[in-house]
Each structure stands twice: as structure tokens, then as C-alpha cells.
Amino acid sequence: MRWDSEERRSGGHREHSIDDMGTKIIYFTVNGRPEQAEFPVDCPAQSLKDLFRSAAEAGPHDILKLYNPKGNIINISPALEPNAPNSCYKLEVVAADCNSEPLGILGLKVKRGILGDFERKLQSLEKKILIEAGETPAIVYEMKKQVDSFREKLESVEHLSWLGLFKDLSEGAHKPSPFYHKRALHKTREECEHVRETFLEMSSLQVSEEVRQYLKTPTFDNWQWEDAEIMVLLQVMYTDLDFTASFNIEAEVLQHFLFEVYRHYNNIPFHNFKHCFCVTQMMYGLIWLTDLRNKMESVDLLIMLTSAVCHDLDHAGYNNAYQINARTELALRYNDISPLENHHCAVAFEILEKTESNIFRNLAVDQYKRIREGIIKCILATDMTRHNEILNKFKSILPAFDFNNKEHRDVLMMILIKVSDISNEARPMEVAEPWLDCLLQEFYNQSDVEKLEGLPVTPFMDRDKVTKPSSQTGFIRFVLLPLFIELANLFPCLEQHIIHPVRKALDYYTEMEKALERESQNWAQSENAAKAKETAADGHADDAASASKPDQ
């Protein structure tokens, strides 16, 4: 399996897209450069994606999009339709990871150098300002740009890398990343305004029935949609569940609410606006799959969907353990009790306090009070330290579950938002795996900061101890599956939709973990063999030297 540009550049190409050996040829362009990929028709989907990633020279966390000649997005999979050189696909890197690791500078392996020292101090300064002021001054961004520019010039000179002045090459691809991001933590006014205008332009467009049905499934691929489009899809959810009609939510108020929600999600690897959408979309899908519209009141469904939309508002990328250990303002404000979740709730109701974005403004006081109580209960349930408490409560009522019992419904609502919040592994692998990469990046950022500040390092976030498969196998076995199985006990139809994919994901990461272990063992054996060979060679040299000496 290979991708090839030389054959295209030389003017030659194959006459057929599938040869007699069952090899498929796909012609495409990357940044206007003609390329071709050659692979077996039965090759694994992930291998093909890696092939295209190599052709695009994309990083491991970059998101790829492939377009057909009509300009439509198509999946990168072995089922790609063969094409000809005159009908090339177009490959783009459209969502580069904002945390691409420019330099290992967090004090783990930094050796010396003025640049490394200055960059480290700049990061420390930025973090202090962010904690105290909530935003970074323009002058700090300008300084970072200058440092980045200088570093890129240095790193572009490959023959200097052996000096090891700025990074330890023995780390290989496993290198620490800075805890600040190339994009500002908060969205800029210009960025928000552009997305808002695009959203408002699109909001009156009719979403096709095909997309509406696709939106109700756990297989929905979030990576194909931009932020403005995502807001349109969220608007569709409120409309198709009849919330706009039942609760008298005006279109412009709903649009303003969704925009304010978008604006209050930060530019961090995982807990961002796209994560908000994924959780909400899974909740929306579960409502339809389990026929909850005929089992629960509309107000409860409104609570669940809105809770999903708001559940991680203004998340800064550091979990509750960090907030508490670092004694942040949030931890002090909420007395170490679910500081993040309490903050997400508070931000949600700050948005809802404004008349122009209060989607509940036409409701009676009692109804608003019920909704507020329900949203707080649901968002606080997403604190994973309460996982066992909530799951055990659900298991205890499950044998006699009654939809007419308010306490039973409240626990179910908490279970549904918990399932939605951690549901990525229930999605197709090509959708789920990039999310794991994003999550690990956020974890590693936090553990790097914890080491830098001398705080207790969260074990499952430590880049020196955690691998991609090891982070998932235990989580799937002991958290995901027990939770999902209990929900499926109440709704057996979910077995095929969320449990089967999670079991496949467990198999996938278990095999990956075994492969890494074998690779590690092979490497250790090779190292031992090399050392033994070197020792033997030294012994022969000593013997030869002794034999050559004259007798005394």
C-alpha cells in the first residue's frame, strides 16, 4: 500500500483504477499537488486513513476532509469509488490541532538555551494572567508570535537538531507539549462575529430530510461540520422536538442563545464547542431511539437537551482535581465541591438571565423553576466523582422502574446525560478515535502543568505512564460498559446502537495495547542483543590486545 506522486509528475498514469491483483488506485490532489494512492481493496480503513495522512503531511491530530469532483465531502474508506486522473478527489487538512507540539519545553527534558528559558517564563506569565484576569493581553500574543517564529526558523534547520539545545530527540514522538495553545483560550470578537453572521445567514435554510434522520443516529460524524453549521443543527433539534412551539421559543431568541453558548466554549483540545454538540447530538439520538417523547414530559426532554448544550460551558481544559490542588478561584468559590460543573451551570444561567438569549422567558415561574432545578441536577451529574453513586442509584430502581415516578425520572435523566457525555466510543471508529487524541492532548497538557507547578500529577493524564490504548481499555471495561449495559437493561433497543460499538472499540484498543507490548519487548530484546554483541566485541578486542603484547 502506498501513495505515489512521482508517477503523476512524470506524466504517466495507469489506465484503470483497479488492477488484476485487486489493487485500487485513487487519484487526488493535496494543496493543488497531484497524488495517487495505491492500496488493496480489502485494506483496513485506518491504514488507508494513515496513507492519506502521510500524503497530506498531516500531524496525528489533524483532521482530514476528502471532496469528490462535485465538491461533496466523502468518507476516506476502502469503499472509495475508483476514479481517473481527470476526475481527482481533493484532500484538505481543514482542522489542524491547535496544540501541535512545537517544542518540549516544560522542564521535563529541557537542557539549556536562552530560547527554552524565555519560552518557559512566557508560558508561566501567561498562565498567571489567565488565572487572575481571565484573558491574555495582546502584548503576550505578540511575544509568543516572535518566539514561535524564531523557534520555527531554528527547527527548520534539521542539521542543528543533533545539538539537543532545545529538545531531547531521544523522546521521539513522545514529547511534552506546552500548556498554552497557539490559539487564544477565548474566542476573539472577530472570530465570533464571523461565525454569528454565517449562522444567521444559514439559519433560515431548509435542512434536508436525509440530514435530519442522520442527526438522530449515534453514527453521526461531527467532523464534517463547521461551527456555524453545528448551530443550525442544534436549532433543528429544538424545532424537531417541538420545543419551539411547546415552550413558545422565538427563533431569534433561540439563535441568540445558541450563539452565546458557542461564544462561551473555549479553544481547548477536547471540552470545546464540538464536544458540546456531540453530547447534545447523542442525547437527541437517545431521545428518538428510546421513544422518550411518548414516555416522558416534553419539559424533561427540554431539560436534558439544554443541559447537554450547556454542560461544559467555559471549560478551561483542567479538571476538578487540578482546580482543587491548585486552589484556583473556582475551587475556592465552590468550596472544592464540583467546581467545574457548578461553574458550567452558573455560566448557563448567566446566558439565560439575558432577555435576548433566554429561551425560557415565556414560561410561567413554576415551570422555569422546574427547568432550572433539572438543568442544575443534570449538569452536576456529569462530575465523574459521582459516577458510582448515580449508577448504583439507577441499578437499585431499575427492577421496578416507573416513568410516572419523578425520582425515577430524575435518576434516568442523570444517567442519560452521563451516557451522552462519555459516548464517543459508541460512535464509528473514524469519528471516535480523533476525539481520543484530543482528550489525551488535553490530559497531557494538564499533567505537564501539574509537574511544572509541583502539584500531584493526575495518574491517568501522565504522558510518561499513559498510552493511547491503556487509557481506553480500563475506562471502557469499568466505566463505559457497566453504565451502558444498565441503560440498555431499561431500553433493550440500545444494545445494537451503543453497546456493540463499544465492545468493538474495546477489542480494537486491547489489540493495540498488545501490539505495543510486543513492540516494546522486541525493542528491549534488540537492545539487549546489541549490548551483548558490544560486550563480546570488547572482550575479543581485549584478548587480541593481550595476545599482541610481548612477554614481560
Q: Are residues 79 and 127 in the same domain?
A: no
> Within 10 A of 319 (CB to CB), how many other CB atoms are there?
19
Residue 249 has pLDDT above 50, yes or no: yes
Backbone angles phi and psi of 529, in degrees to 5:
-65, -40
Average pLDDT, the chain: 83
The domain that contains 71 carries what CATH number?
A: 3.10.20
For residues 278 and 347, the answer to whether their CB atoms sit within 8 Å is no
Instruction: Find the catalytic residue in 181, 271, 275, 344.
Output: 271
Q: Are residues 106 and 90 in the same domain?
A: no
**Boundary (domain end) residue, out of 71, 95, 119:** 95
Query: Do the domain assignments include residue 440?
Result: no
Q: What is the 3-state secondary structure (H, E, C) of 488-520?
A: HHHCCCHHHHHHHHHHHHHHHHHHHHHHHHHHH
Query: Do the domain assignments include residue 267?
Result: yes
Q: Are residues 272 and 321 in the same domain?
A: yes
Task: Report the distance separating Cα 431 and Cα 504, nearest Å.
Answer: 14
pLDDT (0 to 100) of residue 471: 93
User: Lowest mean pLDDT: which of 46-60, 61-75, 121-135, 471-485?
Assistant: 121-135
Q: Are residues 193 and 302 in the same domain?
A: yes
Query: Do the domain assignments include residue 300?
Result: yes
User: Lowest mean pLDDT: which of 145-154, 197-206, 484-493, 518-527?
Assistant: 145-154
pLDDT (0 to 100) of residue 213: 96
Percent of the chain scored above 90 by pLDDT? 60
Contacts of 292 (CB under 8 A, 6+ apart): 286, 301
Query: Do the domain assignments include residue 345?
Result: yes
* Entry pTM: 0.67
Give the count of domains, the chain: 3
Q: Are residues 273 and 324 in the same domain?
A: yes
Run of H or E including 531: helix 500-548
Distances from the Cα of 282 to the Cαs of 108, 433, 498, in angstroms? 39, 16, 10
User: Lowest mean pLDDT: which of 86-90, 394-398, 528-532?
Assistant: 528-532
- Whether 271 sits among the annotated catalytic residues: the reply is yes
**Boundary (domain end) residue, out of 134, 169, 185:** 185
Positive or negative CA dihedral for 428, 231, 301, 409?
positive
Residue 110 has pLDDT above 90, yes or no: no
Burial code of 241-271, b = ≥16 C-beta within 10 A, e = fewer?
bebbeebebeeebbbbbbbbbbbbbbbbbbb
Contacts of 551 (CB under 8 A, 6+ apart): none
Residues 428-443, mean pLDDT to the nearest whole number = 95
Give the range of the structural domain holding residue 149, as residue numbers without chain letter.
99-185
Residue where the block lists cell 451551570: 345
Residue 75 has pLDDT above 60, yes or no: yes
pLDDT for 543-552, tens place per residue?
Answer: 655 655 555 4
Q: Are residues 201 and 158 in the same domain?
A: no
Q: At what angle do helices 500-548 and 468-475 cross, to 10 degrees?
A: 140
DSSP character at residue 551: P
What confidence category does residue 539 fall into, taking pLDDT thresholds of 50, 70 and 90?
low
Top pLDDT among 102 and 271 is at 271
What confidence category does residue 57 fall into, taking pLDDT thresholds of 50, 70 and 90?
confident
Q: Are residues 143 and 248 in the same domain?
A: no
Task: Report the distance separating Cα 341 and Cα 101, nearest Å.
Answer: 29
The domain that contains 326 carries what CATH number?
A: 1.10.1300.10
For residues 183 and 267, the answer to whether their CB atoms sit within 8 Å is yes
pLDDT for 2-16, tens place per residue?
Answer: 565 544 444 444 444
Burial code of 199-224, b = ≥16 C-beta within 10 A, e = fewer?
bbeebeeebeeeeeeebbebebebbe
Query: Do the domain assignments include residue 456?
Result: no
pLDDT (0 to 100) of residue 286: 98
**Boundary (domain end) residue, out of 163, 185, 207:** 185
Residue 118 has pLDDT above 80, yes or no: no
